[in-house]
Every structure is written in C-alpha cells, then in structure tokens.
A and B are shown apart, each in its own frame.
Chain A
Amino acid sequence: MHNRSRISNLLFILPALAMFCVFSVYPFVKTFQLSAFQWDGVSKSMQFVGLNNYKDVLFNNPNFWYSMGAAGYITLLALIIQNALALLLAVLVDRGVKAQNFFRTTFFLPPVLSFIVVALVWKWIYDPNYGILNFGLTGLGMIQFQGFGWLSEAKTALTGVAVVHMWKGFGWGFIILLAGLQGIPRELYESASIDGASVWQQFKRITVPLMIPTFVVVSILTILGSMQIFDLIYGMTRGGPAGLTHVPITRIYEYMNNGEFGYATTMAVVFGLVLLIVSLVQINVSRRASQKI
C-alpha cells in the first residue's frame, strides 16, 4: 500500500518534474556541455576544446571583465541611490501621506513599462539634437548643454544609462520595502514613542533591524537585476560609445550574434558564477549585520 501511495505521489509531481527537467535542468546541463565546445550555431558538428574557452574568458578577455565592471558600476549606483530613494518613498507613504494609492501607482508605473519602450523614450529625452533635457537645460541658461550628447560622451554615457535603469527599477524596491514596513507592528512605534524615542531613534532601533530580511531581498534582486541589464543598453547605446556601456550580457549577445556559441556560453557560465558568488557574499554579510544588531 505504501508503495502505491508513493507511486501516486510521484504521479502527482511528474508533470511539474517533467516541465522542470525539460525547461530548466536540460538547458542548464546543455549550457555546461556547450561551454566546452567551439560551435558556430550552424554546423552539424562541434569541436571539443575542453577548458580552453574558460581559460580565455578568465585570463585573456579584458573586454568581458571591463563589461563586468560597467555592470558593477550600474549595480553599485542602483544599490545606493535607487534603493535609498525607494526606502525614502516607502517610509513617506507608510507614514500616511495623503493620496497613498496615487503614489503607489505612480511609483510602480516605470517597472511595468517595457524596457525597450523606456530605452526609446529616454533616448529621445537625452537626444542631443531633439531631446527635451538639453532643451530644458539651455532654456534655464545652461548654454553649455546645447547639443550635448549625454549618451555619446565618454564621461556621461554609462551614468546616463544607470540613471534610466534606476528610474525604471526603483518601483520594485519601493513596493517590497513598503510591504516590509507595513509588516512591522505599529505597537512597537507607539511604545517607543511613549518611552520618548525620537523618529530617528525609532527608525534606527525598530525599522532597520526588522527590515533587514527585506533589505536582503531587495538588494539581491537589485544586484541580479542590475548585473543582468541588457535591453536598456541595447536600446540606448548598443554598448557604445567606444564600448563603454557594454555589460556582460551585451558581450555575450555579441559573441552569439557572431556565431561563437560555445565561447558565449562559457561567458554566460562565468557570469552566472560571479552572480552566485556576489549573492552568497551579500547574504552572508547581511546575516552577520543582522546578528550584530
């Protein structure tokens, strides 16, 4: 009877298991397999190269690591500025400002827009010839911005893209942080207030410690989302000028588009490992911080 029960249980999970194997496990295994081959995506045969692709990606491809740095820069800005803004707005909405629903909807509007649409809209805003940003700045008397190419100047291109990424992404952080804030019992604030704690002390001693699990989730989502940025870059700069806005995914796409499937897959595996390590470090650091508090 026990066996029959087991079989019926297995039958229950079989559909989901089959889907998981076909759409997750198989591609995952195939990715590793492909990374050990040289393949143009067309030929019927592949050439086994062992770990040569890994050796080249790790030690002989500075452009890939530069792109990792560019993604790291965008991620750092997003972690600090985007999440600080998201937290500030979440706290304000949580404190009961008027028209909460309006703010919630407004702040969550950018994340629901398509990346390509956002890229095209912002490209137009930044446009040196037609863009409203330069039009507005020159209208305010800042004549030096007339015809200024925010996305074509080496000094501003990457930050220009990062700003759009933060604008597009802060709504996610806002919603998650707001949910976290609303999960904190109000009584804690009331008793702290009765005990004479200031708003800052309440924030520091109640909000921050209880929000650490939420901060961890938000920061991991920010890291993963920012490091994997692609559509915005592709829509706005295509990695230019001078490759300064290339990120790992655009480099991987570039290699795939040029028929280097094996090598591109190796880059993807290395990139995946980097993300895994960063996420583990992040979880570890947050756990330690939480224990200290």
Chain B
Amino acid sequence: MSKLTRGNSKFAISGLVVFSILLAVTSAILTSCTSKEKQKSTDVIIWHWMTDREDVFNELAKRYEKQTGIVVKFETFAPSDAYRDKIRAATQGNLLPDVFSPLGDDRELAAYVKAGHIANLTKEMESGWKDRFFEKPLAYSSFFSGNQWDVEPGIYGVPIDVTSMQIYYNKGLFKEAGLDPENPPKTWPEFIEAGRKLRAAGIQPFVSGFGEGWLAGAFVSSYEWNLLGKQGVIDTIRGKLPYTDPRWVRLLGLLGEMREAGMFASGVATMVNKDAERLFATGRAAMAWNGSWGVNVYHSMNPKLNYGIMLPPRLPDAKYPLKIWGGGASSLNVNAESPNKDKAIAFLEWLTDDEQQAFLAQETRNIPANKRCCTALSPVLREFANNLDITQDRLPITEDWKVLSVKFTGMQSIVADYKTPEQVAKEIESEKKRVASAR
C-alpha cells in the first residue's frame, strides 16, 4: 500500500512538473505574441482598422524606413467592432501599441484620455503642424474648454483623412426615369417627386445601410440642423427641447414620407451599408446616402458607374442652413505611455505631410486631412471636400448612446412601417427621461 502511495506521489509530482512546464510554455507562447509585436526590429507599431488603406500604409512605412531608418509596422484588425474590442482588451492588459484609435464617440475618447492612454499633442501641433489640416477634422480630434467630460483642453488625435456624407445618384437611371441628371433635386418636395418618378419607371429610388442605424440618424441629422438650427439640436440634447416637439415629429416623419412615396429599396430597414453599396454600384438603386469613402468602394465594385453627388435636398420652409453629417476624420492617437512616443509622433507628422497625404488620397480615393492636397482629387471628391464647410459643427455636448439607439431603432420602425413618427418621438423622449432618472 505504502509502495503504491509512494508511487502515486511520485506520479503526482511528475504530473505537477509536467503541468508546470506546460504552463510555462503556454505563458511563453502567449507573452511572445505580444513581445513579437514589440520586437526590437520595429520602432513604431500602429494598429488600425482601415483595410482599404492597408497596402498604401505599408508602402508609406517602407518609404519612411528608407528615409529615416525607423521601422514602422501597420497592423490591420477588422471589422471595426473587432478592432474596438481588441483595443479595449489591450488597454486592460497594458498592451496598447504605439499608435491606435479607440474608434468610439467623444465619451469613449475622453475615457481613454482621462485614463492616460492617449497623449495630448497640442504642443507638437502648435508648432505649425496643425496648419496643414482642415479645421473640422482637427476640431473632432480635440477637446475644448468646458467639455462635458472634464478632459484637459487640447488636440489628442492626428487626422488622416476626412469624411462627409451626401447623396450619390446614378445619372443613367435618372435619365431613364425622365429626370435631368445634371440638375438633381434641390428641395425636399423635388426629392420626393423624383423618387415617385423613379419608382414609376420600375427603379428602386433610394438605398442606404439603415440597418446600421447610425446611417439613418446621419441622414435625418442634416434636417435637424435645417429645421432646428444648432441651438435647437443642443437644446434637445440638454433636455430643454423635447423629442415630442412637433418639429421633431416632422423630422422623423420625413422617413415616413419617403416610405409612402415608395422611395426605399427593398430590405433597407435591416440592410448593412456594404449591401447598400453593392445595390447602388450594380445599378439596382438610383440614389444612395453614403459617405465620401463610397467613391473608393463604388470604384472597386464598378469602375464604369456613372454617378454624381448632391446635397440632401433642403426643406423649403426651414429657417436654418442645412448641414451635412461629416467633417470628422479617420484619426490616429498616440499612446501616452509608449516608450516610442516621440518616434510615433514624428512618423505621424511625416504621414500627414503634403507628399504622403497626396499619395494616400490618390491611391485610396479619400479626402485627405491635409487641406493642401485637394488639387489632385477627382471631381466628385473635390465636391465632397468643398462641402466640408457645410458639415455639422462639433457640439459641446453629445446625446447619450441609449437615447441615440432608441432614436435609430425608431427610425427603422418608421422605414419598416411599424411605428408612426409620433410613437417614435414619444419613445425617444421616454428613453431620454429614463436615462436622466438613472443618472
């Protein structure tokens, strides 16, 4: 018995040794995954989500290495949801790369800044760097004094390129429906009428990835500025103007008007933007609400597509100017705790210089954040760039995401003919009150 026990103990001890070795090997593999990323041969590591810019970024990194001897490695993680999750996990594990982006709203960016993960670049930007950028994207990368998150005022991000949203329209399909492709609708009634004509001609008039919610929100937001003005939008967020106000009901009702005119392509309420882009690129929808990135997407899907862009047609009786969604940028942030912080900042300064920005814009068909490089853009992109002036201003306050979620979901309900604008307005207001009471 004692022999057996002694044998057992020996066996158990050897088992424990094997387990310890296994644990050590596993830990070594796991840590090597991270240390591999921080190997000495690489000076700056950048995590990004922009799959369409992967090759161009790599090419630019090669050029930079040739010029300076500094090795920059771009690592792509997509889709953007997965990228955000990776950034969050890396934050907890203290494994953030030298350059990254939290990819969230202002609240999220503020959380990263306040936790000391994102460097304040104001000092570097003030030495002339910021002069090369469009004003809006820089503003979207900054926090101003008195911001609602108590973040120290300053510039925290480096804009790479700018986006804004407009309506793309297929010139051929417009012609087919008897519409003038060189004179797209400029007012809301003209827009609805154009939709009716397109539908009568057997063409699906309008498509967008409203299944993603925020795209419907972005579309209606142009009219929020048009009908309520900047102060009205701010007052709503501050709770001074209820969502049940008749003007809000009217804003939500715009989607209802579009639905009644038969404007929406089939399946819009759950459609993701990739599918909406495919529908427009293949000529199955005449108009598409999409961002400036669409130029590159449509080119890759159908290089022969003949299209133009137009602003969302304004409401004829609205008091305020229509402002389009956009002005923000794909921007990158520097890890404040990185030992390679200075090298990372130097690289980003180089990346946003004229030559690199022109190359990036040309190769990826995006609007560069550097305003001096817009001459090389295609006519459509130049139009997008020119309209950056009429993009919505950065607000000092943002709506709670839960209220926005109910708002976007409500918009889908109207598109799907499931709820009336009045019902949706009540639901948004009730969520607003619920959120306020929970605080």
- Shortest Cβ gap from A264 to chain B (Å): 12
Give the residues from 50 to 79 in chain A that come closer than 8 angstroms, CB to CB, to chain B. 56, 60, 63
Q: Which of A36-44, A164-172, A186-194, A212-220 contacts B (4 or more CB under 8 A)?
A: A36-44
- Contact (Cβ within 8 A) A43 B419: no
- Shortest Cβ gap from B128 to chain A (Å): 32
CB contacts (< 8 Å) of A8 on chain B: these are 5, 8-9, 11-12
| Chain B interface, number of residues (Cβ within 8 angstroms) | 57
CB contacts (< 8 Å) of A151 on chain B: these are 267, 270
Contact of B112 among A15, A42, A149, A152 (CB under 8 A): A42
- Contact (Cβ within 8 A) A240 B9: no
- Shortest Cβ gap from A192 to chain B (Å): 52
Q: Which of B51-59, B227-235, B404-412 contacts A (4 or more CB under 8 A)?
A: B404-412
- Contact (Cβ within 8 A) B2 A1: yes
Question: Closest A-chain residue to B5, C-beta based?
Answer: A5
Instruction: Tell whether A293 is near chain B: CB-to-CB under 8 Å.
Output: no
CB contacts (< 8 Å) of B351 on chain A: these are none
CB contacts (< 8 Å) of A243 on chain B: these are 409, 412
Contact of A257 among B84, B92, B272 (CB under 8 A): B84
Given contacts A4-B9, A11-B16, contact A152 B271 (CB under 8 A): yes
Q: Which of B64-72, B103-111, B189-197, B389-397 contacts A (4 or more CB under 8 A)?
A: B103-111
Q: How many A-B residue pairs have CB under 8 A?
A: 129
Question: Closest B-chain residue to A14, C-beta based?
Answer: B16
- Contact (Cβ within 8 A) B416 A11: no
- Contact (Cβ within 8 A) A241 B416: yes
Given contacts A4-B9, A8-B5, A259-B111, contact A147 B416 (CB under 8 A): no
CB contacts (< 8 Å) of B279 on chain A: these are 129
Give complex CA distance A151, B275 in Å: 14
- Contact (Cβ within 8 A) B5 A149: no
Question: Closest B-chain residue to A52, C-beta based?
Answer: B438
- Contact (Cβ within 8 A) A242 B13: no
Instruction: Tell whether A238 is near chain B: CB-to-CB under 8 Å.
Output: yes
Instruction: Tell whether B269 is near chain A: CB-to-CB under 8 Å.
Output: yes
Give complex CA distance A157, B416 in Å: 11
- Contact (Cβ within 8 A) B267 A127: yes
Chain A interface size range: 35 or more
- Main SS of chain B's interface residues? helix
Instruction: Tell whether B212 is near chain A: CB-to-CB under 8 Å.
Output: yes
Instruction: Tell whether B420 is near chain A: CB-to-CB under 8 Å.
Output: no
CB contacts (< 8 Å) of B211 on chain A: these are 152, 237-238, 240-241
- Shortest Cβ gap from A39 to chain B (Å): 10
Given contacts A42-B117, A240-B211, contact A11 B267 (CB under 8 A): no
CB contacts (< 8 Å) of A129 on chain B: these are 204, 265-267, 279, 284
Instruction: Tell whether A148 is near chain B: CB-to-CB under 8 Å.
Output: yes
Give the residues from 1 to 53 in chain B that come closer than 8 angstroms, CB to CB, to chain A. 1-2, 5, 8-9, 11-13, 15-16, 19
CB contacts (< 8 Å) of B284 on chain A: these are 129
CB contacts (< 8 Å) of A127 on chain B: these are 267, 275
- Contact (Cβ within 8 A) A258 B9: no
Question: Closest A-chain residue to B401, C-beta based?
Answer: A258
- Shortest Cβ gap from B402 to chain A (Å): 8
Give the residues from 223 to 274 in chain A that come closer than 8 angstroms, CB to CB, to chain B. 236-244, 254, 257-259
Give complex CA distance A263, B52 in Å: 35
Question: Closest A-chain residue to B91, C-beta based?
Answer: A42
12 A–B contact pairs at CB < 8 A? A4-B5, A4-B9, A5-B8, A9-B8, A40-B107, A42-B112, A129-B204, A129-B267, A148-B266, A240-B213, A240-B269, A257-B84
Shortest 7 CB-CB distances between A and B: which pairs? A128-B266, A11-B12, A242-B413, A241-B269, A149-B267, A147-B266, A154-B418
Q: A8-B5, A40-B111 are in contact. List 19 more A-B contacts (CB 8 A).
A: A8-B9, A9-B8, A11-B9, A12-B15, A14-B16, A41-B91, A42-B88, A42-B117, A63-B406, A147-B266, A148-B266, A154-B413, A242-B419, A243-B409, A243-B412, A258-B402, A259-B107, A259-B108, A259-B111
